[in-house]
Amino acid sequence: MTRAAYRYAIYLSPSGPLRTFGSQWLGRDADTGATLPPAGDTPAAPADWVRAPAHYGLHATLKPPFRLADGASGAMVDATARELARRQAPFDAPLALRALRGFVAWRLADGGSAPMQALADACVLAFDPLRAPPTAQELARRAPDQLSDEKRRMLDAWGYPYVFGTFVFHITLTGVLDPATQRAALARLEAASGKLLQAPLQVDRISVFVQPAPGEDFVVARHYGFDGSTTDGAGAAYLGA
């Protein structure tokens, strides 16, 4: 019997030059779990800048990490991802380097995207039946008393404050930084990756990431192309297919 991962997540995982730069910047390849040294024009990021995002791997959250509900399985996650991906059409998303809630990220250049919002909404809805309710500790980590009323409603209903009307697309590149360090990170990333953002992000797949056990780093289980293709990562065994 296939063993389930501790948590599953549905992410948008960049491909091409953005993936190469972002993975080297974070110092970890989420497809394999391997540590990556800086290469080429990618600067070495201080470990305390990238420790938090490197744990999750280079990604944008579509459906945040969740434990499986009773009766759900990795195979059900796989089947849901395959079906959802087949219903999507590729689109482009221009990006810009910006700060968000104290960290630095690649965000949508125009502030919003109807196709991106629709994709994120579809992922939240499709995978929610497979999600176990969050524990009291998991809810507490979201600091619910500090959330707006709308974000608190989203947390209570969906286990995450940033979905539907509160969703903000972002590919996280640093942890939370003090203002001076944040400015330094923005300057370093702009100098090294600004040219990459002249071409839009091509959105043509979604990805299932897994956290094999509590405290372990997330790795790719499988990428699901909108054309029906799939590519396995290091965590494919946790999908049971």
What was the pLDDT predicted at 43? 80
Question: How high is the pLDDT of residue 194?
Answer: 87
SS3 77: helix
Cα 104 to chain centroid distance, Å, stands at 14
Whole-number pLDDT of residue 38: 78
Specify the DSSP element, H or E, that contains 92: strand 91-93
Q: Are 65 and 72 in contact (CB under 8 A)?
A: no
pLDDT of residue 1: 52
Give which of 80, 33, 36 is closest to 56, Cα–Cα: 33
φ and ψ at residue 64, rounded to 5 degrees: -65, 165
Q: What is the pLDDT of residues 159-200, one digit of tens each?
A: 999 999 999 999 999 999 999 999 999 999 999 998 999 999
pLDDT (tens, 9 = 90+) of the chain, 241 residues, equals: 578 999 999 999 999 999 999 999 999 999 999 999 877 777 889 999 999 999 999 999 999 999 999 999 999 999 999 999 999 999 999 999 999 999 999 999 987 899 999 999 999 999 999 999 999 888 898 999 999 999 999 999 999 999 999 999 999 999 999 999 999 999 999 999 989 999 999 999 999 999 999 999 999 999 999 999 999 999 999 998 6
Q: What is the predicted pLDDT for the residue at 240?
A: 85
Greatest alpha-carbon pair distance for the chain in Å reads 51
Q: Which amino acid is at 58?
A: L
What single string gives the DSSP state of each residue in 95-140? EEEEEETTEEEEEETTS--HHHHHHHHHHHHHHGGGBPPPPHHHHH
**Residue 141: what pLDDT?**
87
DSSP 165-176: GG---EEE-S--
Domain spanning 7-239: CATH superfamily? Cyclic phosphodiesterase (3.90.1140.10)
- Position 110 scores a pLDDT of 87
The amino acid occupying position 73 is: S
